[in-house]
Structure 1
């Protein structure tokens, strides 16, 4: 009986030793594996740094492209920013009198306002930039031509539907259209004298100087 107990204890010790050996072997393998990965990354990093020193122009171009790509994704404006910019532009124009309002700014904001009222704007997020495009019909139009895909404009005509392009945190057409929005270029002649024949803004405009909107 005593001898069998000793044999049992020896067997248990042997099993524990084998288990510990396997555990140490597994940890060692994992350690060697991660060490090998780190060594590979270290080698790649050193080679990259050396290559950048050997070819500074090429490296500068790659870094510029990478930095620009990251900046494009980080600063890509969304639909909320488009609506906010449009609303602010409308308010700015409302604060300007008829005679001093820039007709080009008026035309840009009017065209966007009409499309928004008709629910004909569609937003596309391309990751590095955004597009605001014009739909042929509004969302609530039930015409056959508005719902049948076979009579819709071909995809090759897509570029003609682009209303604005958002990039680097700004919507280009809205921003460009509001440059000098409070200056009518036809109000003054080149010699600085007033032009008595300059044109007023479009009387059919959606936006009025008295801060109201026409229907």
Structure 2
């Protein structure tokens, strides 16, 4: 009986649903994009292990598999390894960004680098990259995506600099096997793709 109580307590803590936040602060916070590279949470892992054991004892193989897959997912997040089975479709991503205020255009430079042009310095920010990443989340694993943002109305060299960040990591960080790419100087091929894509949607 004690073993089951411990397992239930661990699961409860892992789900963060058994007590209020410290100080009783329950005010909602702005939603942030999914984050990777934070390391696995021992309490969450323990909760999945307890849940898998309980499911195995009752013969619920589907629940066992779900707990094992959840632990595997957490391990991949910790390793900063994108899920190859959840690749984001490039055209679907561009379509998802068109309604966002401030977005003028977007193009994929390569498989993992998305260039987004915004219209105004107020849109050139990490908060805007967050909004872009949130728009992409329903389409697949954003750990494979680096958003590169430029203000097309910039009048200074500093304002024209590209702001880049992986959707799920900090500035300057990249997912495993994801190379860093210099994008401030757009080559003629990228400009040609921009013109073609803009013409196709007029």
TM range (shorter): under 0.3
Structure number with greater CO (CA < 8 Å, separation at least 6) is 1
TM-score by length of 2: 0.25
Structure with max Cα Rg: 1
TM-score by length of 1: 0.24
